[in-house]
Amino acid sequence: MKILFLAFRPEINAGARYRVYKYIPYLEKAGIKCDVVPPFSNRDYYNFITPKNLLIRWVIISKMLFNRILQILKSNHYDVMFIQNEFLPFKTTLFGTIISILNKKIIYDFEDAYFSKKTEQIIKKSKYVIAGSNYLQSYALKYNKNVAVIPTSVDISRYQAKTDYESKNITIGWIGTPYGLNNLDLLDDVFNELKKNHAFTVKIVSSKNYAFESIKNINKKWRLEDEIDDLLSFDIGIMPLVNNEFNQGKCGFKLIQYLAVGVPVICSPIGVNKEIVQDGINGFWADTPDEWIKKLSLLIKNKELRISFGKKGRESIMDKYTIEKNHKNLISIIHKTFNS
């Protein structure tokens, strides 16, 4: 069996890496020949998410369009097509129609609330849909009866467990793409108040810098080779979210990464966050500024609580959010699509 993966981004992107690329060795071992094609290179990806000017961005989009057309035209040479998220940043449904004509055995995988006519169309035309959360599954079930949930998962062998919980100056950390940095605005006043009673550092790991108005923070450029060390440098991992439709559909991968290395977490109780984090057991929910201040204070002061949350958090990830476990679900869906 041959399958073509239209990856959303190159492997340097976390969503593509953990929903496509990390599964390939398991699929190949199961006898499934895999070709993975992203829309552009790692270099173009960096320039796309942090463009120096609009001209560069449009050059990259033009290259993306050209690459995708060539990739789509090869669709009929494969037994199964796997489309991850938005394969093109255009509203038109034309390309989805072309793919479905060339190859009707489509698997559509999505991890964010990319809700549009284009999304509805590709869901309808797919033999099987994979959603990253129950929220996304409920949306997809409106248009397709064959919808499974596979959460974004980590290769747990790479995520070593945190052992040092002795920090005198607590590091509160956030990791992610530039698209999520705006959510940190929710915590500006929180940190301003928190600094009156506690010593701490805020560390932001991303490909773009972020600055709070009320406190100084550390910006660390994200690099794949530093990712685990950056996560281990956190004493508390945070995931604040503005409550909107897009964030309701997010798959909570920051939380999964924090917990995978045993870092205690605090998050907004929105969408899948409430499934990943059990409030008071492997982390905290915080919905208001007062709750953020109170729960950050608890974790800053209480080393034993940080240790407890960290250990229980890692156990929860190993139980449900690893590629080592979830690859079997993906292989099953591929075979069902092939035999449909």
Domain residues for the domain of 44 are: 2-152+323-338
Name the burial class of residue 91, with classes exposed (0-12), middle (13-18) and buried (19+) by CB atoms within 10 angstroms of its CB.
exposed
Q: Do 308 and 167 share a domain, yes or no? A: yes
Q: Do 284 and 250 share a domain, yes or no? A: yes
Mean of the pLDDT values across residues 77-90?
Answer: 90
- What CATH number should be reported for the domain holding residue 287? 3.40.50.2000
Q: How many domains does the chain divide into? A: 2
How distant, in Å, are the alpha carbons of 14, 17, 50, 120, 294 from that of 11?
7, 5, 17, 26, 38
Q: Do 272 and 207 share a domain, yes or no? A: yes
Other CB atoms within a 10 A radius of the CB of residue 221 amount to 11
Q: Do 118 and 64 share a domain, yes or no? A: yes
pTM beyond 0.85: yes
Contacts of 21 (CB under 8 A, 6+ apart): 7, 11, 36
Q: Do 147 and 163 share a domain, yes or no? A: no
Cα gap 252→176, rounded to integer Å: 11
Other CB atoms within a 10 A radius of the CB of residue 163 amount to 10
Q: Do 311 and 164 share a domain, yes or no? A: yes
What digits encode the pLDDT tens for the residues 109-142? 999 887 888 899 999 999 999 999 999 999 999 9
**Helix 94-102 crosses helix 117-125 at what angle (to 10 degrees)?**
10
What digits encode the pLDDT tens for the residues 187-196? 999 999 999 9
Q: Do 232 and 109 share a domain, yes or no? A: no
Q: Do 245 and 130 share a domain, yes or no? A: no
334: tokens are: 């591929």
Q: Do 102 and 185 share a domain, yes or no? A: no
Q: Do 22 and 44 share a domain, yes or no? A: yes
Map residue 201 onto helix, strand or coil.
Answer: strand
Cα gap 66→77, rounded to integer Å: 19
Average pLDDT, the chain: 94
Q: Do 144 and 261 share a domain, yes or no? A: no
Residue 51 banded pLDDT, cuts 50, 70, 90? low
